[in-house]
């Protein structure tokens, strides 16, 4: 009887959220007992979908697992919850990590801005319930940023996963309730902890808010411990390169005036990372802003500054790409500490970026470091690069990037009550110059880095084998 009541409550909660409560992410916080009911009802159900960012603002992707005997990679889209005059989008199925299911991936195209849609995906039991998805402004827009969701707590314990899921859901609901105009969410990687279990992705996908919020997830070293990322995501413009191996991939997407470049920083294949950046930049010559995402923290507060693998090797691979293509902001995670750098160029502070200030046409790149959602144990100290740091490990955080005409406002807030911690505004009046002498010099010298990157990759393969996975 208890089980029937629990499942019924969970179904009612899901239906409420999917059909009724999504106006402007009008989600309410669940208590821990309410979350536990939801968690228990969904933990054995490996079929929740992920809404993913599209290649541009008029697209979103969907990805879900389905029984291999009945799977149909189709999504229905309509402007009403009854799904009258629904349009069908077809995708493809590919093998999954198990023998019973396949992965369905579909891209929805032709979306219009500030519009309300309802979608259904084809499940093991036919069409799913209809979920509401509201597009926001296509030009000026707001992105949410988090890092190290790290579901799993480095164990496979369901108790830990449920607690992680509760924390993740609480931050999501807090961020969305205060930012109903957010278009999507960027994660700086380590979305999961072991990278090896379907259960981690299921927990990550449980928050109902995610049925209406597209995700852009970078790969972190913990995701890289297994191959699960490969079966649970549908990122746009994935770049598989010439030297990338296994799970390795970069991707990019465009939203309004902004080009987002997401790097798999666990791969040292420098030539592929530079080639992806070149492809993305050349396909988007009119983008006003360039935002990078990579997992490891190059100039954040924390031990990464002292870690030679990050501060020397990854710095050598990635900094020249960011300098060469003049990225405005690079988002990192990994250290589980919130912080932000001054303006950096060639690993040197070239200008102050004080909290609360506005800078017009600054030279150099700002590096933003995200705190972890789960697994917040860490330690750190400010360095010469640090403009802002927040070392309270018990407090989650989230950041918003707000693009409005020629300004980018970066604000970091507490994940429990949205108190403002740090802000910085960048104003841009000039276009990028990708063909200056310095830029060309960076790319010329980088040929040497590309060669060393291949050597590093070979050594890294051996080290990873000895370690039994990526750190």
Residues near Fe ion (CB under 5 A) are: 190, 220-221, 334
Cα–Cα dist 279/341, whole Å? 27
Contacts with 436 (C-beta within 8 Å, 6 or more apart), sequence order = none
CB of 297 to Fe ion, least distance (A): 9
CB of 222 to Fe ion, least distance (A): 6
- The structure tokens listed for 297 are 């923290």
CB of 316 to Fe ion, least distance (A): 19
Residue 273's Cβ-side half-sphere holds a number of Cα atoms within 13 Å equal to 33
Cα–Cα dist 80/87, whole Å? 12
Q: Which is nearer to Fe ion, 221 or 383 (CB)?
A: 221
Q: Which is nearer to Fe ion, 190 or 200 (CB)?
A: 190
Contact 375, 154 (CB under 8 A): yes
CB of 220 to Fe ion, least distance (A): 5
Q: Which is nearer to Fe ion, 96 or 221 (CB)?
A: 221
What is the end-to-end Cα distance of the chain in Å, rounded?
45
Contacts with 208 (C-beta within 8 Å, 6 or more apart), sequence order = 13, 14, 17, 18, 21, 27
Cα–Cα dist 131/462, whole Å? 46
Q: Which is nearer to Fe ion, 96 or 304 (CB)?
A: 304
Q: Which is nearer to Fe ion, 127 or 303 (CB)?
A: 303
Nearest residue to the partner Fe ion, using Cβ: 334
Taking CA atoms, 399 is separated from 2, 143, 338, 395, in Å, by 40, 8, 10, 13
Q: Which is nearer to Fe ion, 262 or 353 (CB)?
A: 262
- The structure tokens listed for 450 are 């590309």
Cα–Cα dist 88/107, whole Å? 11
Phi, psi of 55 (to 5 degrees): -65, -30
Contact 367, 300 (CB under 8 A): yes
CB of 295 to Fe ion, least distance (A): 6
**H helix runs in 57-148, sequence order:** none
Taking CA atoms, 359 is separated from 206, 256, 353, in Å, by 40, 22, 8
Q: Coil, strand or helix: which one is 414? A: strand
Q: Which is nearer to Fe ion, 197 or 221 (CB)?
A: 221
Neighbouring CB atoms inside 10 A of 412's CB total 25
Burial status of residue 166 (CB atoms within 10 A of its CB: 0-12, 13-18, 19 or more): buried
Q: Which is nearer to Fe ion, 47 or 397 (CB)?
A: 397
Q: Which is nearer to Fe ion, 54 or 220 (CB)?
A: 220
Cα-based angle 10, 373, 342 (whole degrees, multiple of 5): 150
- The structure tokens listed for 384 are 């010469």
CB of 232 to Fe ion, least distance (A): 18
Q: Which is nearer to Fe ion, 190 or 272 (CB)?
A: 190
Cα-based angle 300, 303, 305 (whole degrees, multiple of 5): 55
Q: Which is nearer to Fe ion, 183 or 369 (CB)?
A: 369
CB of 413 to Fe ion, least distance (A): 22
Characterise 4 by phi-psi region: left (phi > 0), alpha (psi -120 to 50), beta (else): alpha
Tokens 């979103």 identify what position?
60
CB of 464 to Fe ion, least distance (A): 14
Neighbouring CB atoms inside 10 A of 459's CB total 12
Q: Which is nearer to Fe ion, 174 or 200 (CB)?
A: 200
Contact 216, 253 (CB under 8 A): yes
CB of 221 to Fe ion, least distance (A): 5
Cα–Cα dist 452/269, whole Å? 9
């Amino acid at each position: 009887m208890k089980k029937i009541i629990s499942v019924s409550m969970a179904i009612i909660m899901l239906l409420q959220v999917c059909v009724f409560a999504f106006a402007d992410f009008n989600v309410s916080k669940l208590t821990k007992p309410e979350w536990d009911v939801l968690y228990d009802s969904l933990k054995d159900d490996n079929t929740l979908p992920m809404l993913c960012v599209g290649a541009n603002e008029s697209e979103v992707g969907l990805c879900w697992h389905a029984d291999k005997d009945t799977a149909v990679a189709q999504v229905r889209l309509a402007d009403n919850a009854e799904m009258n005059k629904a349009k069908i989008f077809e995708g493809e199925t590919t093998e999954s990590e198990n023998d019973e299911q396949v992965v369905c991936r579909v891209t929805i195209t032709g979306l219009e801005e500030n519009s309300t849609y309802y979608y259904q995906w084809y499940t093991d039991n036919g069409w799913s319930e209809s979920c509401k998805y509201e597009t926001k402004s296509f030009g000026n827009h707001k992105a949410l940023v988090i890092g190290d969701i790290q579901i799993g707590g480095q164990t496979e314990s369901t108790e830990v996963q449920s607690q992680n899921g509760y924390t993740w859901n609480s931050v999501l609901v807090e961020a969305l309730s205060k930012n109903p105009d957010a278009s999507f969410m960027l994660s700086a990687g380590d979305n999961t902890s072991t990278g090896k279990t379907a259960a981690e992705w299921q927990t990550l996908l449980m928050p109902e808010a995610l049925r209406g919020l597209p995700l852009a997830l970078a790969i972190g070293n913990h995701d890289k411990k297994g191959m699960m990322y490969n079966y649970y995501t549908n990122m746009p413009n994935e770049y598989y390169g010439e030297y990338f191996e296994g799970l390795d991939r970069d991707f990019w997407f465009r939203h309004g005036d902004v080009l987002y470049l997401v790097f798999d920083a666990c791969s040292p294949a420098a030539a592929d990372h530079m080639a992806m950046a070149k492809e993305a930049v050349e396909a988007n010559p009119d983008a006003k802003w360039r935002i990078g995402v990579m997992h490891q923290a190059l100039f954040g507060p924390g031990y990464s500054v002292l870690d030679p693998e990050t501060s020397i090797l990854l710095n050598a691979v990635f900094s020249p790409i960011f300098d060469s293509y003049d990225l405005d902001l690079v988002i990192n995670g990994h250290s589980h500490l919130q912080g932000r750098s001054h303006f950096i160029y060639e690993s040197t502070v070239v200008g102050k970026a004080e909290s609360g200030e506005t800078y017009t046409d600054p030279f150099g790149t700002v590096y933003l470091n995200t705190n972890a959602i789960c697994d917040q144990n860490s330690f750190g100290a400010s360095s010469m690069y640090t403009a802002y740091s927040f070392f309270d490990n018990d407090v989650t955080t989230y950041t918003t990037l707000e693009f409005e005409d020629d300004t980018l406002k970066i604000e970091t807030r507490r994940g429990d009550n949205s108190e403002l911690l740090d802000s910085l505004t960048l104003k841009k009046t000039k276009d990028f110059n990708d063909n200056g002498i310095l830029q060309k010099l960076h790319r010329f010298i980088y040929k040497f880095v590309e060669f060393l990157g291949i050597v590093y990759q070979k050594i890294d393969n051996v080290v990873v084998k000895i370690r039994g996975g990526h750190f």
